[in-house]
Structure 1
Amino acid sequence: MAEAHAAAAFSFSVTQEGLDVQISHEALRAVYFSGVRSWRKRFTRFWNRVLNGVFPVKYTSLLAFYGIVLLLSFLNYDITCGFNDKVHPWLFSSTFITWNLSHLVSSTLLWLMAVLVIRYSLKMLLCYQGWMFEPRGRMSIKTKLWALCTKILGGTNPKLYSYQASLPRMPVPPLKSTIERYLTSVRPLLDDKDYDAMKSLSEEFLSTIASKLQRYLVLKSWWATNYVSDWWEQYVYLAGRGPIMVNSNYYGMDLLYHVPTNIQTSRAANVVHALFAFRSTLDKEMIKPVSLANNYGVVPLCSSQYERVFNTCRTPGVESGTSATGWTVGTFAVYHQGRWFKMTCYKNGILLEPSELEIQLESIINNTSEPSEGEKHLAALTAGERVPWAKARNTYFADGINKKSLHAIEKAFVLILDDQEQIIEDAEQPGLSSYGRALLHGKCHNRWFDKSFNCVVFKNGRFGINAEHSWADAPIMSYLAEQVLGYEYQSLGYGPDGKVKGRPMVQPILPHRQWQISPECQEVIESSLLVAQNLADDVHLRVSAFKHFGKGLVKTFKMSPDAFIQAALQIAHLRDKGHFSLTYEASMTRLFREGRTETVRSCTNEMCAFARSMNDENATKEERYALLKKAVDRHIDAYKEAMTGQGIDRHLFCLYVVSKYLKLESPFLAKVLRLPWRLSTSQTPHQQAMNIDLNKHPNFLSGGGGFGPVQNQIEMLCFIDILINHLDLIHEIDWVNKKLLVADDGYGVSYIICHEDLIMFHVSSKHSSPETDSERFAANIEQAMLDMRDLCESMKVKK
């Protein structure tokens, strides 16, 4: 993939005629404009830091303050109330400093003090989350005053990171409260004997080492920006030694009903142009920070994850991986039919137009060259076990051409020109499931799974995304996809022939590639491919469109659509397996700085009581409806507790990490974190960017995304223990046979509430488990949703 003619801008050699100097003017121009872009980006970031440093105050207020102070000083009135008289002799001993200049300096200091007071006041206001727990439509006097103050102090026209310094730190929940809520959450899953044993372990934990561990966490919460996120990324994601394909990476789909063109290169050219245009906006921080949709004032969410959208690549290590972040060059790596190409997106410092990008992509499609030895399956290294990939990277990609080519992929944006078509007719099976599998794992060798995300464009023009999970969560990628699709739809478009609009103004540099992969490295590649193929073959994915009703009908029941769906999932699970399981629902904690996710334990006593009633022929509709209302209300409260930093699982996880650092064993924490999650659920956010009106454009509906079957936490706990206390044992672990640590009998369910009358479900499980079947579970979900609809509608009629 090294670009040969641009690899060296200057070279010389000694000949019989003398010194032969060769200068590539094109390469020098490329180097020059690349430097210009880099310095422009640095200056923009510096200037944005200056602006954000005083937000929500603006520098124009300083000029106004200067004018008022100087004007009133001429009228012999001191607006600073004697502040200047006190500061002047302390700052200025020289008689050359005029009194007016002294006023300017003291006024600046006074203004900076006011800025600090305003910023700290806004931060204190954002610490208040009581508004979230108040009934809809009934706002207390306290919340009304808070809303008024946040609107006044919230500022106007914020940039992406304007609110970062004002966001509160994530609090450490009270220890006893976490333990009590944990015991309540597992009560429906344990019989009396097991529950009493768990309760005894918790009491022993509270009376021994719990307070000591809690003090360390509180200390970390004072010192670190977020007491959870760094450990969560390090131990849950980067420490894993198993494949990240299927187990960690997730996928996102294109629009369901709208494919603007069936020409692969044209669609890819527009999507790539839209992505780089978004990256330019992102670098300038011109994106408005996402806020919660409410009427309570300014409630911004943390934007820190956006910083790593384009410039992150996961790097394998023998002991633990890293998430490398650096400047992304203005290039993208393209995979097509087993070959990797390097392409440029800029010429003379200007982003290429889609018609110019299309030329490069067509040159790849028309290129009939064969892949180099080992090149076709090269990306399988990122799909298999992490230790063989780490060792191969250190051995075969440490220098020479392979190092440059690998660097070109890891520092670039990755585009996959897939040679398959994904045909979806009326959003029905089997096309959706095939589409999901293609995005989740593909052929196991045609995705670079370490990249922050892979943009996949299929042969018939459909596109999708495969995203690596360690650097950010799904809402960030969902926002990116919405921005790209909106920009493509509103600003780019296609001609009548399906080709991109516009005429090329410059001739772009054509792509190049180069690898030298040894036979020994090829053996490692094929071994990783075999591991990945076995994993992919075991995935049972069922993607379905639930079109009977959507959030519009659920809202008429005066219920939360998310809580309604979670109740349906419990009914479906009970009918599928005959019992309840520990259920994970992802909730964001981005109300806090550098917040990521928290667990909502959806399988509550109330949910279980309602689910049982739906299978109880003796239960009346009134009884079932009353139980449903209680279950929904309890779920909403649990979700709000998780969002406001009062969740259970991240707190217990961090207590476990601290115990390992201190070499203190806790039977309670070990047992808590070893209980398997056999139902893992997540809702994909929709319309975060809000740049397309779905009422005017009803076909602009996303297919959502999904993830692989749920895994046990035992593997994660082993990694924590090894990395902290027993690093010397890491080479003795049989990574290939660690399937013993994986919960093979679980379901993964992702859903997206697309609009008023459509919900997409992505259900995953493993073929190897005799207890699970994604087709069966999806059918159970559909029937549970219909049964709940009938129940609620019958109660509406009675009322």
Structure 2
Amino acid sequence: MTTFAREETLPRVPLPTLEASCERFLAWCAPLLTADERAATEAEVAAFLRPGGPGRVLHAALEEYDATAGVHSWLDTFWPYRYLGRRDRIALNANFFFLFQDAGPDEPQSQVARAAGLIAGAVGYKRQLDQDLVPPVVQRGQAQSMVQNAYLFSTTRIPGAQQDTVRSPYGDEWPGPSDARHIVVFHRGAMFRMEVLGADGDPHSLDDLEAGLHAVLKAGAQPPAPDTSVGHLTTMARAEWAAARESLRTRHPGNAAALDDIETALFCVCLEDFAPADVQDACDQLLYGDRGNRWFDKAVSLIVFADGRAGINVEHCELDGTTILGFTDALLSTPAEEHSRRSGARSQGLPAVEPLVFELDDALRAQVRSAADAFAAYGAATATRTVSFDDFGSTTAKALGASPDAFVQLAYQLAHQRAKGHLGATYESIATRQYRYGRTEAMRVVTPEIQEFVAAMEDPAASADTRRAAFHAAAAQHVTRAKECQTGQAPEQHLWELELIQRRRGAELGVTEQPALFRTPGWLKMRDDYLSTSSAPSVHIQYFGFGSTSSRCIGVAYVLLPDRFHLYLSTPLPVADQMHTFADRLREALTELRELLSSGPSAN
């Protein structure tokens, strides 16, 4: 079965009925509201649902769109708005990272050898993808959408004044796989175009790649002149970066050519000139390390430190964690030599290496300096923490009679209650790739059963049996809701797209004002994250991470495997103490729940 063969036979993302989404919305937001807030929200939902009301009109327009020829999903317009429409910086705010497992004792340890091996693996994966030989993913007997794989190579987000766009192959302007033969290598803020495929399309050998990287290190030994590392500009807010990019492009013909080299490159490789102090520092550097040594708009950037540790930074607009997990697993599960052999790599001599130099005027140099300073300050204003449990994993949770994801999500809620004194809106990303062009669904974790579980755990008078029963009831409801989300039966993205249709087409449809539902306490509180959670289970990564989503949110990125559980937490610096308290309470909660469940009967 070829990579993309099943794409058109996958079922479409189901479009929930308006009534079902409104009913679920009320149930999902209710635990976060007072009685008065619930009543106010219910009244506006009723107005939204009334015959001839705004909800009916907007939903009919969405149904019509979903039935339009060439539309893959009713979310086809939603996803570009959600990702490409954001106007703040994507560096730290949207991009995510994986810290790879360290090289094994029989694998290359040096920076150049590790980087060459990763390049060989990535090029080998691309060759397989070009020939439709990457096996389609099947989970629990269900084929998964592979369309995101088309955005792994030669894909770059392009900033726009109103909304960004994506430059990539497999489209009308660039049909078929990428024909690029080069990557862009960063070192000390300088950029180099390096050929990784020969003139006939055969990959360079590992020795060739190492020689090319050594040439980069030699050429980049002296950092570029101050305020000339153009990668800093990719950390700016999107409209500002769009204006700067246009100034850059029109300043000199060589600038347009250099931008073209970067944007069409298969991927970026960032060679750092230092070794991280520890694992946390490595994670931070992968998320928001800079020194001009990144192009945050590039879909895939492989980052290799001076000591050979490595990871990946990913631009999120066309790529979700599950696709990058598949790519990472393919990259790291096979020795570099085998990747090289399978791809047909051969020795062709030193790859062509050329510096990419931009002509800057005083205004552009000032923008580079300003962007560098602003992003350094933004990174410094972000608090992060790694938390590791090497004596707990999914095997432990299952032995205790619990769904592993439900177990850790309940632990998060208990820890949050103890850290902040209350529960709060919690987001969890649920993959829906079993649908055509499927991506993710938004799950809201807090349920009445979780409220009751936390209350029981906090009640000194509650017996162990009462607490266990509350745990199992909450865990069961969590699993039920997750399954609903996996089958597309969730309200948030549906209602959000209705709001967006009103913004885009309200005058045409006769819905000239934003429906009041979207200003209710229920809508606002349900989507005001206190915890934003996402999981990336792979034996090939140590940590996964992303930035927080609001001024008081804790980003919780976790790797939950049979024998270990690793988390990367992030939050704005003003509330760092609460994040650290949450981490401490989480460690206590996990121990407490293990003891509770091991001392009594399971739910099974």
Q: What is the TM-score of this pair, normalised by structure 2?
A: 0.91
Please state whether the residue corresponding to 1:779 is helix, strand or coil: helix
Counterpart for residue 128 of structure 1: none
| 1:247-294 Cα distance to aligned partner (Å, 9 max, x none) | 10010111157473331111111110111011100111101111113x
Please state whether the residue corresponding to 1:314 is helix, strand or coil: strand
Instruction: Return 5+ residue gaps in structure 1 as ranges.
Output: 1-157, 424-430, 494-501, 687-699, 711-742
1:705: how far off? 0.7
Range 347-356 or range 561-570, more displaced:
347-356
Which amino acid letter does the alignment assign opposite residue 229 of structure 2? H
How many residues are treated as equivalent by the alignment?
Answer: 577
Which amino acid letter does the alignment assign opposite residue 241 of structure 1? R
Counterpart for residue 61 of structure 2: 216
Matches within 5 A, 1:393-432: 393-398=245-250, 399-412=252-265, 413-422=267-276, 431-432=278-279
Task: Report percent identity of matched pairs.
Answer: 27
**CA 444–511 in structure 1, closer or farther in 2 if over 3 Å, else same:** closer
Answer whether contact 2:227 2:366 (CA < 8 A) is retained. no
| 1:435-473 Cα distance to aligned partner (Å, 9 max, x none) | 110000103522110000111011000110010010111
Counterpart for residue 563 of structure 2: 757
Range 774-783 or range 537-546, more displaced:
774-783
Counterpart for residue 511 of structure 1: 354
Counterpart for residue 641 of structure 1: 484
1:657: how far off? 1.2
Counterpart for residue 101 of structure 2: 255
Which amino acid letter does the alignment assign opposite residue 195 of structure 2? T
**CA 701–286 in structure 1, closer or farther in 2 if over 3 Å, else same:** closer
Counterpart for residue 541 of structure 1: 384
1:348: how far off? 3.5
| 1:611-658 Cα distance to aligned partner (Å, 9 max, x none) | 121111111111111111111111111111111111111111111112
- Of 413, 432, 436, 1:589 maps to 432
Quick check: 1:445 aligned with 2:445? no
| 1:519-541 Cα distance to aligned partner (Å, 9 max, x none) | 21111111222221221111111
Quick check: 1:347 aligned with 2:198? yes
Counterpart for residue 240 of structure 1: 86
- How far apart, in 2, do the equivalents of 1:765 and 1:329 lie? 39
Counterpart for residue 285 of structure 1: 132
Counterpart for residue 86 of structure 1: none
Please state whether the residue corresponding to 1:288 is helix, strand or coil: coil
Which amino acid letter does the alignment assign opposite residue 311 of structure 2? G
Quick check: 1:668 aligned with 2:517? yes
Counterpart for residue 324 of structure 2: 477
- How far apart, in 2, do the equivalents of 1:546 and 1:257 lie? 21
Answer whether contact 2:116 2:213 (CA < 8 A) is retained. yes
| 1:75-104 Cα distance to aligned partner (Å, 9 max, x none) | xxxxxxxxxxxxxxxxxxxxxxxxxxxxxx
Answer whether contact 1:540 1:773 (CA < 8 A) is retained. no
- How far apart, in 2, do the equivalents of 1:481 and 1:612 lie? 41
Matches within 5 A, 1:674-693: 674-675=524-525, 676-686=528-538
1:180: how far off? 1.4
Q: What is the TM-score of this pair, normalised by structure 1?
A: 0.69
- How far apart, in 2, do the equivalents of 1:369 and 1:588 lie? 43
**CA 368–763 in structure 1, closer or farther in 2 if over 3 Å, else same:** closer
Answer whether contact 1:225 1:594 (CA < 8 A) is retained. no
The structure showing larger relative contact order (alpha-carbon pairs under 8 Å, at least 6 residues apart) is: 2
- How far apart, in 2, do the equivalents of 1:258 and 1:602 lie? 38
- How far apart, in 2, do the equivalents of 1:475 and 1:603 lie? 24
Counterpart for residue 357 of structure 1: 209
- How far apart, in 2, do the equivalents of 1:371 and 1:549 lie? 45
Counterpart for residue 175 of structure 2: none
- Of 187, 202, 213, 1:336 maps to 187
Answer whether contact 2:167 2:263 (CA < 8 A) is retained. no
Which amino acid letter does the alignment assign opposite residue 179 of structure 1? C
Please state whether the residue corresponding to 1:662 is helix, strand or coil: helix
**CA 550–541 in structure 1, closer or farther in 2 if over 3 Å, else same:** same
Counterpart for residue 552 of structure 2: 745
Answer whether contact 1:375 1:515 (CA < 8 A) is retained. no
**CA 229–526 in structure 1, closer or farther in 2 if over 3 Å, else same:** farther
Quick check: 1:556 aligned with 2:406? no
- How far apart, in 2, do the equivalents of 1:769 and 1:250 lie? 21
Please state whether the residue corresponding to 2:548 is helix, strand or coil: coil
Quick check: 1:387 aligned with 2:387? no
**CA 374–635 in structure 1, closer or farther in 2 if over 3 Å, else same:** same
Please state whether the residue corresponding to 2:239 is helix, strand or coil: helix
Instruction: Return 5+ residue gaps in structure 2 as ranges.
Output: 170-177
Range 668-677 or range 465-474, more displaced:
668-677
Answer whether contact 1:372 1:515 (CA < 8 A) is retained. no
Please state whether the residue corresponding to 2:290 is helix, strand or coil: coil
- How far apart, in 1, do the equivalents of 2:375 and 2:437 lie? 33
Which amino acid letter does the alignment assign opposite residue 428 of structure 2? E
- How far apart, in 2, do the equivalents of 1:283 and 1:670 lie? 47
| 1:335-384 Cα distance to aligned partner (Å, 9 max, x none) | 11121111101224211011111001111212366444466531111012
Which amino acid letter does the alignment assign opposite residue 452 of structure 2? A
Please state whether the residue corresponding to 1:357 is helix, strand or coil: helix
- How far apart, in 2, do the equivalents of 1:788 and 1:369 lie? 53
Please state whether the residue corresponding to 1:230 is helix, strand or coil: coil
Matches within 5 A, 1:138-217: 158-207=1-50, 208-217=53-62
- How far apart, in 1, do the equivalents of 2:458 and 2:337 lie? 49
- How far apart, in 1, do the equivalents of 2:331 and 2:167 lie? 25
Answer whether contact 1:374 1:525 (CA < 8 A) is retained. no
Counterpart for residue 792 of structure 1: 597
Counterpart for residue 325 of structure 1: 168
| 1:663-714 Cα distance to aligned partner (Å, 9 max, x none) | 422010243553311211011132xxxxxxxxxxxxx55213110012xxxx
Counterpart for residue 315 of structure 1: 158
Please state whether the residue corresponding to 1:253 is helix, strand or coil: strand
- How far apart, in 1, do the equivalents of 2:554 and 2:217 lie? 39
Matches within 5 A, 1:25-40: none
**Greater CA radius of gyration, 1 or 2?**
1
1:397: how far off? 1.3
Which amino acid letter does the alignment assign opposite residue 678 of structure 1? Y
**CA 316–186 in structure 1, closer or farther in 2 if over 3 Å, else same:** same
- How far apart, in 1, do the equivalents of 2:559 and 2:112 lie? 29
